[in-house]
Amino acid sequence: MLKGKHIILGISGGIAAYKSVYLLRLLIKAGAEVQVIITPNGKEFITPVTLSSLSGKPVISEFFTANTGEWHSHVDLGLWADAMIIAPATASTIGKMVSGVADNMLITTYLSSKSKVFVAPAMDLDMWKHPSTQRNIETLKADGVSIIEPGAGELASHLVGKGRMEEPENIVKVLDDYFSQTEDLKGKKVLITAGPTYENIDPVRFIGNYSSGKMGFAIAEECANRGAEVTLVCGPVSIKTENPNINRVDVVSAKEMCNNCVNLFADTDIAILSAAVADYAPATCSESKIKREKTDSMTIELVKNPDIAATLGKMKSDSQMLVGFALETDNEKENAIRKINNKNLDWIVLNSLKDKEAGFQKDTNKITMLSRIGQEIPFDAKLKTEVAKDIIDTIIGK
Ligand code: PMT
């Protein structure tokens, strides 16, 4: 899977840098095109001449080539790469990635990178265990970076513990798995709903909910990364899409979301409905701001919104797959199964507000997937980016 892939190999200053030479050799052997970026400290451990001989490309370390004044564009490099692997990543480089300290070519390229980033940390065991390092690792994960955990064994300091950079063969396998995974939705058209809907009461007020869109956006990114043509119909959210292959349609109300989904559904292979759609909307929307009255109460008449999932469920053909979500607070499984039947879903992703890791706005979710034919698959609490992988793997039977 690595053949022809553009890989940036970032090397920072640790003794494990000697392993990066072998990693580079393996990547080249697998057919990848590799651009090495090494930090100034990295050069103290291995020479650019060794690396450029293996990669067939000049090694980049500084912002400028001193004698010619040629400027190295971190932005172009960030766009060029299909994946970036930083191996070894020292505690210092990890800290700079977390806080965006762009004082060398490697970090500026990381900040400009549009591709998936992998980090293979290597450091002494106490540095690895330090709360600061662990905090930084968690932040990188939340930023979508994949951490290739260090192994345990005798370290350069002769201390024994966790901190050894993962072996190059295993790092290549991680990259290979990543690229093989990206192809498995190629040719599929996926429709995803995300975020809340806002049902206007007057020009300044609405009925809405707390959905941030994080869950649906994670699913959209995962599908696009795996080669699908994705249309993401989303309510008002403040997050951005990363993958340029996501066609984003912004809507406000449930009716708008429904109209877009109905128009798109005939040309869809898989629809995944993660949006928190308002079930009711005000019967009328006042054209001017409703004034505070002397009366102690007021009534807003609400009318039922269309049920998007049920509408698509009625339109669904045998070749299409419809996946809904169920956000529950009680009788979770029973309610989810009822929704599968009422809405003619193939799968439902159940998440419960009783789980502290699940729900609106969180970076994590804890789900159980239930199918029309009675399968029940529980998952541990994970980052929503990882939950998205589990959902896709499950529905395509991986
Ligand atoms: O956006 P985040 O902050 O990351 O939060 C994620 C989430 C909690 C919103 C998400 O994980 C989730 O559970 N989404 C579904 C929330 C919901 O509205 O569930 P529900 O049980 O009310 O609806 C069942 C299904 O019918 C859902 O697929 C929903 O999109 C769909 N529905 C509901 C009402 C309606 N009028 N039309 C619909 O299509």
CA of 276 to the centre of ligand 1 (A): 4
104 is catalytic: no
pLDDT computed for residue 293 by the predictor:
85
Q: Does ligand 1 come within 6 angstroms of the Cβ of 12?
A: no
Segment 146-156, tens digit of pLDDT: 999 999 888 88
Give mean pLDDT in consecutive 10-residue pieces for the chain, a chain of 398 residues.
94 96 97 96 96 95 76 82 97 97 94 94 95 95 90 84 94 89 87 98 97 98 92 96 87 98 98 98 96 90 98 98 97 97 98 96 96 97 93 94
pLDDT computed for residue 308 by the predictor:
98
Distance CA 258, CA 269 (A): 17
pLDDT computed for residue 73 by the predictor:
77
Structure tokens at 397: 């039977």
Structure tokens at 189: 């058209």
Region of 219 (left: φ > 0; alpha: ψ -120 to 50; beta: rest) is: alpha
Segments making up each domain of the chain, as ranges: 6-182, 189-395
pLDDT computed for residue 245 by the predictor:
79
List b or e across 60-81, with b for residues whose CB sees 16 or more CB atoms inside 10 angstroms. bbeeeeeeeeeebebeebbebb
CB 339 within 8 A of CB 326: yes
Most informative mutation of 209, 221, 327 for ligand 1 (most atoms within 8 A of CB): 327
Q: What angle do CA 325, 329, 330 make, to 5 degrees?
A: 110
Selecting among 170, 200, 209, 259, the annotated active-site residue is 209
Q: Which of 91, 94, 97, 95 is nearest to 111 (CA)?
A: 97
Superfamily of structural domain 189-395: CoaB-like (3.40.50.10300)
pLDDT computed for residue 182 by the predictor:
63
3-class SS of residue 129:
helix
pLDDT computed for residue 39 by the predictor:
96
Is the pTM here over 0.85, yes or no?
no
Same fold, 6-182 and 189-395: yes
CATH of 6-182, one of 2.60.40.10, 3.40.50.1950, 3.30.56.10, 3.40.50.2000: 3.40.50.1950
Look at ligand 1, atom 26, and give the residue with the nearest C-alpha.
309
